[in-house]
Amino acid sequence: MNTARTLATARRVLAQLRHDPRTLALLLVVPCLLLTLLRYMYDDQPLVFDRIGAALLGIFPLIVMFLVTSVAMLRERTTGTLERLLTMPLGKADLLLGYALAFGAVALVQAALASVLTLGLLGLDVAGPTWLLFAVALGDGLLGMALGLLVSAFARTEFQAVQFLPAVILPQLLLCGLFVPRSAMAAPLRWASDVLPLSYAVDAMDHLAAGPDITGALVRDLVVIGGCVLLALALGAATLRRRTA
């Protein structure tokens, strides 16, 4: 790994985003709008909003980052810039960490905006510490980014990349405990839920919403999320081949 090349890559990805203000606006504004919508859907059920709102605060960054990253990386592959970079002295880790830094910074801003909005204006009531809520949201954003980088290796076109959202993210959303508590699921579904990273993201938010203490279960959730980010990045690096057929 080379710090100068990693930082140059992060700067380049951010410069690309700066030239695309509409994408940047969508990235930052859409989660806020959806959370606001949710708040008024449950206008007379503030307890439901507290539970679902906290979970969605973690899910939105994951979905948005997944989409943007998978398409951005696919573009790198299809326009030939990836092949050019791989003929240059750029390490795979430099490239992936450069992306992680750039989109991580965007995830940070997005999580900050969404957290301030929901906790402040929308009156979301969370028992746990605010900074931790923010940290989980950021971790989820990074998880979405790492999964997006990974699946981009399996897409040939942008159509396919976009289809990975329903294929990879929606099953996790259904099984994460948002619709049916995980403990109430049939055993095979619970097992599936146990190995899907989004379950831990939602679980962490549930713990935060429920009580002020930093429990062992919460720490376990955070460790699992962090481990999944690293695993997905490592698998993503393995899909970057200098020599292709």
Partner 1 sequence: MMNSQAGPAPAVRIDGLTVARGGRTVLHGLDLTVARGSVTGLLGPSGCGKTTLLRSIVGVQQVAAGRIDVLGAPAGGAGLRHRVGYVTQAPSVYADLTVAENLRYFAAVLGAPAGDPARVTAEVGLAGSEHRQAAQLSGGQRARVSLAAALLGTPELLVLDEPTVGLDPVLRQDLWELFHRLAEAGTTLLISSHVMDEAARCDRLLLMREGRLLADDTPAELLARTGAPDVDGAFLALVAGAVDRTPGSPS
Question: Applying CB under 8 A, which residues contact partner 1?
Answer: 4-5, 8-9, 11-12, 15-16, 19-20, 79-81, 83-90, 242-245
Closest CA relative to residue 34, chosen from 145, 122, 108: 122
Minimal distance, residue 243 CB to partner 1, in Å: 5
* Shortest reach from residue 102's CB to partner 1, in Å: 12
CA distances from 73 to 40, 69, 93, 148 (A): 36, 6, 14, 8
Residue 67 or 196: the one with the smaller Cβ distance to partner 1 is: 67
Give the nearer residue to partner 1 in terms of CB position, either 32 or 96. Answer: 96
Q: Of 8 and 116, which CB lies nearer to partner 1 in the complex structure?
A: 8
Whether the Cβ atoms of residue 137 and residue 154 lie closer than 8 Å to each other:
no
- The least CB distance from residue 15 to partner 1, in Å, is 5
Q: Which is nearer to partner 1, 32 or 240 (CB)?
A: 240
Q: Which long-range contacts (CB under 8 A, 24 or more apart) does 66-69 make?
A: 66/144, 66/145, 66/147, 66/148, 66/151, 66/165, 66/168, 66/169, 67/148, 67/162, 67/165, 68/23, 68/27, 68/103, 68/106, 68/148, 69/99, 69/103, 69/144, 69/145, 69/148, 69/149, 69/152
Q: Which is nearer to partner 1, 81 or 130 (CB)?
A: 81
State the nearest-atom distance from the C-beta of 65 to partner 1, in Å: 19
Q: Provide the minimum distance between the beta carbon of 141 and partner 1 in the complex, in angstroms, as a whole number.
A: 22
Choice between 24 and 180, CB closer to partner 1 = 24
Task: Provide, rounded to whole angstroms, the least separation between the CB of residue 16 and partner 1.
Answer: 5
Are 231 and 203 in contact by the 8 Å Cβ rule? The answer is no
- What count of Cα atoms within 13 Å lies in the side-chain half-sphere of residue 215? 15
